[in-house]
Amino acid sequence: MKETKSELAGTDRPDLKNHNEKNAQLDAYRRDATGQALTTNQGVKISDNQNSLKAGTRGGTLLEDFIFQEKMTHFDHERIPERIVHARGVAAHGVFKAYPGNERFTKAGFLTDTERETPMFVRFSTVQGPRGSADTVRDIRGFAMKFYTQEGVYDLVGNNAPVFFIQDGIKFPDFVHAMKPEPHTEIPTAQTAHDTFWDFVSLVPETAHAVMWAMSDRAIPRNFRSIQGFGVNTFRMINADGEAVFVKFHWTPKQGLTQLTWDEAQKLAGRDPDFHRRDLYDAIESGNYPEWELGVQIVPEADEHKFDFDLLDATKLIPEELVPVTPIGSFVLNRNVENFFAETEQVAFCPAHIVPGIDFSNDPLLQARVFSYTDTQLIRLGGPNFHQIPINQPVCPFHNNQRDGYHQRAIHRGQASYEPNSIDNNWPTETTPAASNGGFESYAERIDGRKIRERSPSFSDHFTQARLYYRSLTPYEQRHVVNAYVFELSKVQRLYIREREVLEILCNIDLDLAQQVAIKLGIVIPPEKLNVELPEVTPSKRISLEAFPAPDIKGKKIAVLVHDKVNQANVDAVLAWAKEESAIAEVLAPTPAPVLSSSGAEVMADGMQRGEPSVLYDAVVMVDGDNYDQVLKDGTAKHYIIEAYVHLKPIVLLGEKADLINSLGLVADEGTLSHQDFKSVAMELKQLIMKHRVWAREPVSEMIPG
Ligand code: HDE
pLDDT for 665 equals 96
Q: Does residue 568 carry a pLDDT above 80?
A: yes
Per CATH, the number for 460-545 is 1.20.1370.20
What is the C-alpha to C-alpha distance for residues 294 and 265, in angstroms, rounded to an integer? 28
Cα–ligand 1 centroid distance for 369 (angstroms):
7
| Ligand 1 centroid, distance to 85 Cα (angstroms) | 7
Is 165 known to sit in a ligand binding site? Answer: no
Average pLDDT of 184-198? Answer: 97
Whether this prediction's pTM lies above 0.75 is answered by yes
Q: How far apart are CA 479 and CA 702, in angstroms?
A: 10
Cα–Cα distance list, 578 to 2, 171, 312, 410 (Å): 51, 50, 47, 51
Name the architecture of domain 87-390. Beta Barrel (2.40)
| Residue 27 confidence (pLDDT) | 62
CA dist 508 and 463 (Å) reads 6
pLDDT on residue 5: 36
Does residue 667 register a pLDDT over 70? Answer: yes
* DSSP three-state, residue 456: coil
CB atoms within 10 A of CB 489: 23
Calpha distance 683→688 (Å, rounded): 9
- DSSP, res 54: B
Measured by CA distance, the residue closest to atom 31 of ligand 1 is 169
DSSP 66-116: HHHHHHHHHHHT---PPPSSS-SEEEEEEEEEEPTTGGGT---HHHH-TT-
> What is the distance in A from the centroid of ligand 1 to the CA of 498?
28
Which atom of ligand 1 is nearest to 372's Cα?
44
Cα(349) to centroid of ligand 1, in Å?
A: 8
| Domain locations along the chain | 87-390, 460-545, 555-700
* Res 14: pLDDT: 44
Cα 104 to Cα 112: distance, rounded to the nearest angstrom: 9
pLDDT for 24 beyond 90:
no
373 is in an annotated binding site: yes
Helices 364-380 and 172-179, packing angle to 10 deg: 60
34 pLDDT tier (thresholds 50, 70, 90): confident
Residue 271 among known ligand-binding residues = no
Locate the ligand 1 atom nearest the alpha carbon of residue 143 and give its number: 43
Strand pairing of 651-654 and 619-622? parallel
Q: What values do phi and psi take at 359, rounded to 5?
A: -150, 175
Tens digits of per-residue pLDDT, 221-275? 999 999 999 999 999 999 999 999 999 999 999 999 999 999 999 999 999 999 9
Q: What is the dihedral of CA 458, 461, 462, 464, to 10 degrees?
A: -130
The residue contributing the CA closest to ligand 1 atom 39 is 158
The CA-CA-CA angle for residues 513, 516, 521, to 5°, reads: 120
Considering only CA atoms, which of 594, 603, 596 is closest in space to residue 573? Answer: 603
Position 434 scores a pLDDT of 64
Res. 23: pLDDT tops 70: no
The Å distance, Cα 233 to ligand 1 centre, comes to: 12
Q: Which of 4-8, 119-123, 407-411, 450-454 has the lowest mean pLDDT?
A: 4-8
User: Is the pLDDT assigned to residue 2 strictly greater than 80?
Assistant: no
Ligand 1 atom having least distance to the Cα of 91 = 11
Question: Which residue, by CA, sits nearest to atom 28 of ligand 1?
Answer: 158
Predicted confidence (pLDDT) per residue in 467-479, tens digit: 999 999 999 999 9
Residues known to be catalytic: 86, 159
**Closest residue by CA, ligand 1 atom 16:** 142
Distance separating alpha carbons of residues 79 and 345, to the nearest angstrom: 10
pLDDT digits (tens, 9 = 90+) for 506-557: 999 999 999 999 999 999 999 999 999 999 999 999 999 999 999 999 999 9
Query: Per-residue pLDDT for 55 more than 90?
Result: yes
Ligand 1: lining residues by beta carbon, under 6 Å: 83-86, 89, 123, 125, 142, 144, 157-159, 164, 169, 172, 232, 314, 348-349, 365, 368-369, 372-373, 376
**505-508-512-516 Cα dihedral, nearest 10 degrees:** 20
104 annotated as belonging to a binding site for a ligand: no
Q: Three-class SS string for 296-322?
A: EEEEEHHHCCCCCCCCCCCCCCCCCCC
Predicted local confidence at residue 561, as pLDDT: 98
pLDDT at res. 26: 58
The proportion of the chain whose per-residue pLDDT surpasses 70, expressed as a percent, equals 94
Whether the pLDDT of residue 692 is over 90: the answer is: yes
User: Which residue among 166, 315, 373 has the greatest number of ligand 1 atoms within 8 angstroms of its CB, and so is best to mutate?
Assistant: 373
pLDDT band at 701 (very low <50, low <70, confident <90, very high): low
Q: How far is CA 67 from CA 51, 73, 392, in A?
A: 10, 10, 31
Separation of alpha carbons 318 and 9, rounded Å = 44
Q: How far is the CA of 613 from the centre of ligand 1 (A)?
A: 34
Distance 314 CA to ligand 1 centre (A): 13
The number of the ligand 1 atom at minimal distance from the alpha carbon of 123 is: 11
Ligand 1: residue of 80, 82, 83, 204 to mutate (most ligand atoms within 8 A of CB) is 83
- Give the separation between CA 144 and CA 153, rounded to whole angstroms: 13
* Homologous superfamily of domain range 555-700: Class I glutamine amidotransferase (GATase) domain (3.40.50.880)
* DSSP label of 259: B
Residue nearest to atom 43 of ligand 1 (CA): 142
What pLDDT, in 10s, does the model give residues 76-130?
999 999 999 999 999 999 999 999 999 999 999 999 999 999 999 999 999 999 9
Q: Which atom belonging to ligand 1 lies closest to the Cα atom of 164?
A: 42
> Was 471 annotated as part of a binding site?
no
What is the mean predicted confidence (pLDDT) over 336-364? 97
Q: What is the pLDDT of residue 432?
A: 80
Alpha-carbon distance of 574 to 621, in angstroms, equals 8
Is 645 assigned to a binding site? no
| Mean pLDDT across 171-175 | 97
In this predicted structure, what is the pLDDT of residue 699? 85
Q: Exposed e or buried b for every residue in 645-661, given b needs 16+ CB within 10 A? A: bbbbbbbbbbbebbebb
Name which of 641, 640, 634 is nearest 662 in CA terms.
Answer: 641
Check whether 3 has a pLDDT greater than 70: no
**Rg over CA atoms, the chain:** 28
Helix crossing, 195-203 with 172-179: angle to 10°?
Answer: 140
* Closest ligand 1 atom number to CA of residue 125: 11
Q: Tell me which residue has its CA closest to atom 44 in ligand 1.
A: 373
| Nearest protein Cα to ligand 1, atom 20 | 158
Residue 13 has pLDDT above 50, yes or no: no
Q: For the residues 617-633, what does the mean pLDDT come to?
A: 96
